[in-house]
């Protein structure tokens, strides 16, 4: 428990708090952009958490057993830039090497929200060391923190041994009214309560203000009652300036077992200033020069000083978090060396995981599917691959948003187990019908260095999309397994038939979207994706069986690794017409190709499972697959035609979807919308004027 400190330290505490506040005020004022109110109100909380409580070593921001700090109300990013600067946190590069220079300099803070500054408008994970997750859209940070908490529980279950608590860190997430209004936070809080994640603490800045005004306009629920309903431990601190009470509440969190904790912290926007700011000033705009001077006067601060860090502040952080964090990391490093001597294989796993590398021979026994005209559904091939990967890669795990049996994502091998409060080593995660929280949780697991996947029907990728986008922004190697990728579930009708999802996911920079054409392409898709360290991937897989192509006759499926490849070609001479397809339409294109060859038309068929991968190939390779001189082209895909002109040109033909589909058996839908070999062959003949 907290012991009263000498007066000098109390004064130093307040000096540090006011330094965080004034750096925030000055940075926002200089940028003429940003949110000064929340950093002013929450400076005592963040100071207490960082300098008195958290285990974090500024000299090693990626030490595996550090406590995690998530600023979910990311518009208050100056809080984070201030403490990263004042604690002297050091930078780390993409290869996980410690670089020695500061993560955030005073110069960065002077250039808050400006190009190339390490003090951007919202926390950016791979841009600034010491940031645990990108938290722009409200609610994402707290939802991601649930994945981090699941990750810690799983790591502790697999790797801790008697006398060796290798993983026993806590996750602290600061959030505001906006975060708690967002649905993703509710989904995630419900899941966290069910799983009893007692390593997770949310601190809710209860300030009654949003952009439009007082929360009475739209948010009058009883937050405490709601979280009690979720099964959380609920605490309240009535004064956001009371550092001792904040510290006590955080201590109660660490003593509470079997439940996550939320601390409701009553504050007022612009806390610490005696002047009443209107909502816009306090929340979303600079204070203005006059208000800045009045506020600094109230803090006993030199009114004209800008970006001032008074004598003693850096030293106080060094003596607090710096000394405590360094000692904790040294103890852990010594413990880990002793652990390595006793549990060498497990220590090696941890080393590989931290570098996002894979065990030797991780893909040696992936299935190979024999040629079969009846074939295998994409989801069934995927299920077989997932079960191999989860056995070969100890830290590979995942689950579905209540569709495991339908997505075929359930890990069925002996010992796979279910992740629950009482069995935190299980590899089958059950997210419930919470697609958005699932995707954010998968991000949190990836940030914990686990390899994780989440699954649902492709149509419901829309519910997960904001977190998938953040996965790409953060360059995380997450995997999203989406089945029922077209009209295979025909009778369910337009609400369940994804049309625009492929085009919209292809539009996300850095996201690898893969739509494999048969079972062996599914295998190669996983082989490709698992080797990525900094790119997320979406696999769109069929519900219905797809013919397994004869790879003695057609090109090997390993061509998938280049995004597109020549599957079949005319025996002689250059092609007259090119047929391009992805997923379930590849076999249609192959049949049409055979028809055209029989008619003496030199046809080429190209499987194009990933636009993103193909676009990253050399121009020479792309031209070898799609020769510019061959302008007669037909693309076929059960999805929106948007974007296909880049591959068929302005004169080419695209057989795709212009509507949302219909409710009917698959064969009838294929006939109605033109997804038949005869129709593809006819379109090719039209292209040639025959």
Report the distance separating Cα 688 and Cα 470, nearest Å. Answer: 44
Contact 650, 509 (CB under 8 A): no
Contact 183, 153 (CB under 8 A): no
Q: Supply 474's token pair.
A: 């953060």
Three-state DSSP at 626 gives coil
Provide the strand spans (E) within 181-245: 200-206, 209-210, 213-214, 233-237
Contact 522, 482 (CB under 8 A): no
In the residue annotation, 435 being an active-site residue is answered as: yes
Sort residue 348 into left (φ over 0), alpha (ψ -120 to 50) or beta: alpha
Q: H/E element holding 530? A: helix 519-530
Report the distance separating Cα 434 and Cα 454, nearest Å. Answer: 11
What are the start-end ranges of the H helices in 256-403? 279, 289-298, 313-317, 323-342, 344-354, 378-392
Report the distance separating Cα 563 and Cα 516, nearest Å. Answer: 10
Q: Which residues contact 143 (CB under 8 A, 6 or more apart)?
A: 184, 185, 187, 188, 436, 437, 440, 441, 444, 467
Contact 386, 409 (CB under 8 A): yes
Side-by-side strand order, sheet with 653-657: 565-568, 603-607, 577-581, 633-640, 653-657
| Half-sphere CA count of 664, side-chain side, radius 13 A | 11
Place of tokens 């605490």: 235
Three-state DSSP at 575 gives coil
Cα angle: 28, vertex 32, 38; to 5 degrees: 35
Q: Bridge-partner residues for 204, per DSSP?
A: 175, 264
Report the distance separating Cα 499 and Cα 56, nearest Å. Answer: 46
Q: Supply 90's token pair.
A: 């050091």
CA distances from 294 to 61, 271, 273, 298 (A): 37, 13, 8, 6
Q: Which of 132, 281, 285, 435 is catalytic?
A: 435
DSSP 148-196: HHHHHHHHHHHH-BTTB------EEEEEEHHHHHSHHHHHHHHHHHHHT
Which residues are annotated as catalytic?
Answer: 435
């Amino acid at each position: 428990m907290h012991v009263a400190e000498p007066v000098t330290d109390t004064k130093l505490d307040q000096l540090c708090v006011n330094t965080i506040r004034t750096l925030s005020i000055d940075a926002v004022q200089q940028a003429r952009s940003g949110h000064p109110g929340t950093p002013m109100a929450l400076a005592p909380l963040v100071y207490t958490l960082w300098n008195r409580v958290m285990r974090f070593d500024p000299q090693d921001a990626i030490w595996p057993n550090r406590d995690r700090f998530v600023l979910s109300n990311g518009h208050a990013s100056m809080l984070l830039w201030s403490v990263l600067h004042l604690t002297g946190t050091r930078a780390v590069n993409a290869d996980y090497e410690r670089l020695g220079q500061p993560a955030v300099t005073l110069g960065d803070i002077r250039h808050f929200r400006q190009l190339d500054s390490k003090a951007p408008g919202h926390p950016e994970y791979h841009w600034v060391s010491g940031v645990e997750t990108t938290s722009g859209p409200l609610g994402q940070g707290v939802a991601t923190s649930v994945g981090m908490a699941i990750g810690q529980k799983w790591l502790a279950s697999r790797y801790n041994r008697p006398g060796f608590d290798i993983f026993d860190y806590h996750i602290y997430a600061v959030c505001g009214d906006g975060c708690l209004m967002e649905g993703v936070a509710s989904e995630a809080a419900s899941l966290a309560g069910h799983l009893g994640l007692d390593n997770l603490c949310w601190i809710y800045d209860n300030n009654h203000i949003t952009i439009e005004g007082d929360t009475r306009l739209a948010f009058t629920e009883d937050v405490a009652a709601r979280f009690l309903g979720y099964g959380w431990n609920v605490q309240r601190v009535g004064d956001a300036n009371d550092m001792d009470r904040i510290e006590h509440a955080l201590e109660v969190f660490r003593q509470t077992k079997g439940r996550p904790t939320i601390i409701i912290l009553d504050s007022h926007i612009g806390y610490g200033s005696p002047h009443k700011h209107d909502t816009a000033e306090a929340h979303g705009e600079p204070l203005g020069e006059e208000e800045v001077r009045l506020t600094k006067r109230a803090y006993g601060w030199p009114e004209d000083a800008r970006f001032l860090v008074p004598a003693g502040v850096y030293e106080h952080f060094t003596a607090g978090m710096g000394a405590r964090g360094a000692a904790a990391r040294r103890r852990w490093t010594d413990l880990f060396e002793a652990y390595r001597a006793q549990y060498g294989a497990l220590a090696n796993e941890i080393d590989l995981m931290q570098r996002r590398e894979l065990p030797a021979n991780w893909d040696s026994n992936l299935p190979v599917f024999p040629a079969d005209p009846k074939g295998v559904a994409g989801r069934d091939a995927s299920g077989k691959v997932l079960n191999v990967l989860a056995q070969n890669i100890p830290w590979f795990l995942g689950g579905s948003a209540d569709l495991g049996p339908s997505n075929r994502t359930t890990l069925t091998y002996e010992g796979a187990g279910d992740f629950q409060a009482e069995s935190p080593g299980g590899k089958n995660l059950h997210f419930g019908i919470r697609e958005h929280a699932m995707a954010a949780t998968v991000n949190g697991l990836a940030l914990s260095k686990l390899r994780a996947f989440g699954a649902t029907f492709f149509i419901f990728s829309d519910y997960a999309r904001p977190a998938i986008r953040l996965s790409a922004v953060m360059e995380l190697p997450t995997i999203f397994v989406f089945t029922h990728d077209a009209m295979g579930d025909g009778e369910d009708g337009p609400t369940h038939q994804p049309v625009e999802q492929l085009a919209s996911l292809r539009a996300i920079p850095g996201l690898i979207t893969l739509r494999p054409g048969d079972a062996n392409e599914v295998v190669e898709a996983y082989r490709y994706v698992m080797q990525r360290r900094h790119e997320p991937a979406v696999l769109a897989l069929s519900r219905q069986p797809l013919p397994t192509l004869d790879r003695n006759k057609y090109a090997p499926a390993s061509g998938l690794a280049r995004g597109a490849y020549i599957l079949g070609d005319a025996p002689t001479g250059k092609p007259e017409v090119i047929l391009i397809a992805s997923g379930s339409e590849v076999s249609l294109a192959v049949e049409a190709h055979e028809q055209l060859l029989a008619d003496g038309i030199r046809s080429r068929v190209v499987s194009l499972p990933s636009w993103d991968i193909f676009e990253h190939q050399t121009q020479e390779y792309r031209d070898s697959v799609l020769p510019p001189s061959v302008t007669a082209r037909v693309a076929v895909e059960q999805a929106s035609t948007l974007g296909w002109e880049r591959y068929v040109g302005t004169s080419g033909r695209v057989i795709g979807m212009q509507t949302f589909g219909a409710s009917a058996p698959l064969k009838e839908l294929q006939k109605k919308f033109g997804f038949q070999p005869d129709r593809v062959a006819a379109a090719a003949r039209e292209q040639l004027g025959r």
